[in-house]
Amino acid sequence: MDDLRLLVGDLRRQLERHVRAGAWAARAGSPTRAAGPEVAVPVTEPSVDTPRRTLAQIRDELGECQRCKLHATRTKLVFGNGAEDAALMFVGEAPGADEDRIGDPFVGKAGELLDKMIEAMGWTRPTVYVANILKSRPPGNRNPQPDEVAACIPFLWAQIDAIRPRIIVALGRPAANGLLGRDAPISALRGRFHDARGYKVLPTFHPAYLLREPERKRDVWTDLKLVIVELDRLGIRSPHPPKT
């Protein structure tokens, strides 16, 4: 019976993700349309009450993680922070030196820029959720390696399933490829929504990259405006008016 309950719960969670993504949503009695421009169909929140792990439970399961080699060189594990029911989530690639020292994601100059991006959208750091693909800093801030991503990303997906954000903003190529299971440049992914396990993902440039290439801030704001519009379409209002 326990195995059956687990199977039913897993199937229900999959159904919820499809419904939330609009994959099976349709207006009652709508006729079949000929090929043409797609019309957005409002998606309602699923009513199925399924058990799920809390962020606290996931953090306890992660423990003082030693599942990959990065535990030997990190100072602090960086889990993530923000609202546990956030409609909007931001995912980066890995902690940097400041994050490794403090234990929180996106601090320092890149974190300050991310805060400004979030505030321009009408949100604040406490009202969104911020995390990384990796929970430990790679030495010298190098890119995450495949074995490190494989060990860590199940915990990120557990966080995502606990929060159930309506939109995830992937910051930078490693974050976007990690979530989408792709190997593509960020320039080929940004500017449009992608589906990842039933969640809407909008890739854009990483704040650290914008500090080096400030002329790309305009591109990022174009991407973030897509998020603002989509949240509005879903009936989700930001705590403050976004910048125009």
What pLDDT digit, counting tens, does each position of 163-176 carry? 999 999 999 999 99
End-to-end CA distance of the chain: 55
pLDDT exceeds 70 at position 198: yes
CATH of domain 54-233: 3.40.470.10
Helix/strand/coil (H/E/C) assignment for every residue in 81-109: EECCCCCEEEEECCCCHHHHHHCCCCCHH
Domain boundaries along the sequence of the chain: 54-233
What pLDDT digit, counting tens, does each position of 72-101 carry? 999 999 999 999 999 999 999 999 999 999
pLDDT above 90 as % of the chain: 78
Neighbours of 179 (CB within 10 A): 22
Q: How far is CA 2 from the centre of its chain?
A: 31
Confidence at residue 33, expressed as pLDDT on a 0 to 100 scale: 29
Mean pLDDT value across the chain: 85
How much is the average pLDDT of 209-217? 98
**Order of all β-strands in the sheet with 88-92:** 81-82, 129-132, 88-92, 167-171, 199-204, 194-196
Confidence at residue 82, expressed as pLDDT on a 0 to 100 scale: 98
Neighbours of 114 (CB within 10 A): 24
Residue 244 binned pLDDT confidence (cut-offs 50, 70, 90):
confident
Lowest mean pLDDT among 19-28, 167-176, 187-196: 19-28
pLDDT exceeds 80 at position 160: yes
Confidence at residue 52, expressed as pLDDT on a 0 to 100 scale: 81
pLDDT exceeds 90 at position 9: no
What pLDDT digit, counting tens, does each position of 95-136 carry? 999 999 999 999 999 999 999 999 999 999 999 999 999 999
Amino acid, res. 201: V
Residue 65 binned pLDDT confidence (cut-offs 50, 70, 90):
very high
Alpha helices for 121-172 (secondary structure H): 146-163
Alpha helices for 22-139 (secondary structure H): 55-62, 97-102, 108-120
Residue 51 binned pLDDT confidence (cut-offs 50, 70, 90):
low
